[in-house]
Amino acid sequence: MDRTTEGWVSGFLGVLIFSGSLPATRIAVLDIDPLFLTLARATIAGLLGAALLIGLRQKRPARGDLLPLAIVSLGVVVGFPLLTALALQHITSAQSICFVGLLPLATALFGILRGGERPRAGFWIFSGLGGALVAGFALLQGGSASSTGSLLMIAAIVACSLGYAEGAKLSRRLGGWQVISWALVLSLPLTGGLMLVSLPASWSGIGLPAWLSLAYVSLFSMLIGFVFWYRGLALGGIAGVSQLQLLQPFFGLMLAAALLHETVGWGMVAVNVAVIACVAGAKHFAKPAAAPENGNARDEPGHDAVKA
């Protein structure tokens, strides 16, 4: 298996893990305050990340890596979880999942701005078509969503896509799990301190499903998923692998139907087939026709600095 294919496989596993995030968050916010949920999941994952970094004796990131790590922290550790948790107080899990269809295009744009990637014109055709299919399906599937919830989800998508692109670029030097672990540790003093301040007055109203959901978003959504996702973006390219997120709404909707009994129509099957075709087309056109002559080898997806 070549490194690009390995990147796509790794990215696909990351998408599968992330697909359970919004349904799990929806379950959790039924019993847990969204702010405490955000802080708790980041704190738990941060402690696990710190244990990994210490146990495996990872060297500290360079001073120049601190700003990119801070952007990752603000985007995926704090921004996306908090904004989606707040949004899920106003919209359903199915509606929120449909907004994820905007994430691949936004991530590709930030990949160009931050990662210097230049996919061919065909990539944008397939990427735009895939986003349009997901958006159209969202209108049919999600119904009329709250304007407040919609704006919160759009802000979450912007924060998340920037964090994805910045983290993927950094992963080429530090490694995927190291990037998310350092980002979690960097935010730990803030998230841990605020979590203690926002502790619920009573734990009696929090049921087992909410606790299990908190465990999922802490362990899988905040840590394990990023191990696969950042490695996939770094190896396969930010713009290309990010298109796998077009599949995430459909995996998430199936989970929402199974766990939350939210209605998902059979039209999802037809749209999903079309979206898979768009992902395949985007993958074909993701790389430029010719590599730039003066590219920085350190930031190439296949560079040896990418670690498991």
Condensed to tens digits (0 to 9), the pLDDT of residues 226-238 reads 889 988 988 888 8
Q: Strand, helix or coil at 14? A: helix
Helix (H) / strand (E) containing 87? helix 80-87
Q: What is the number of domains present in the chain? A: 1
Under the banding of pLDDT at 50, 70 and 90, the label for residue 117 is low
Query: What is the rounded distance in angstroms from the CA atom of residue 67 to the CA atom of residue 26?
Result: 32
Question: Is residue 46 scored above 70 in pLDDT?
Answer: yes
Tokens 């919609």 identify what position?
A: 150
Residue 308 lies in a domain: no
Residue 55 lies in a domain: yes
172 closest CA partner among 111, 104, 214, 119? 111
Tokens 């670029």 identify what position?
A: 169
Residue 170 lies in a domain: yes
Question: Is residue 139 scored above 80 in pLDDT?
Answer: no
Under the banding of pLDDT at 50, 70 and 90, the label for residue 23 is confident
Query: What is the rounded distance in angstroms from the CA atom of residue 44 to the CA atom of residue 9?
Result: 27
Residue 70 lies in a domain: yes
Residue 258 lies in a domain: yes
State which residues form the domain around 120: 3-197+206-299
Question: Is residue 3 scored above 90 in pLDDT?
Answer: no
Global confidence as pTM: 0.76
Residue 307 lies in a domain: no
Cα of first residue to Cα of last residue in the chain, in angstroms, is: 15
Residue 305 lies in a domain: no
Question: Is residue 160 scored above 70 in pLDDT?
Answer: yes
pLDDT at residue 17 in the model: 92
Query: What is the rounded distance in angstroms from the CA atom of residue 94 to the CA atom of residue 91?
Result: 8
What tokens appear for 251 in the block? Answer: 């995996």
What tokens appear for 75 in the block? Answer: 């985007």
What tokens appear for 27 in the block? Answer: 């379950």
What tokens appear for 137 in the block? Answer: 């399906």
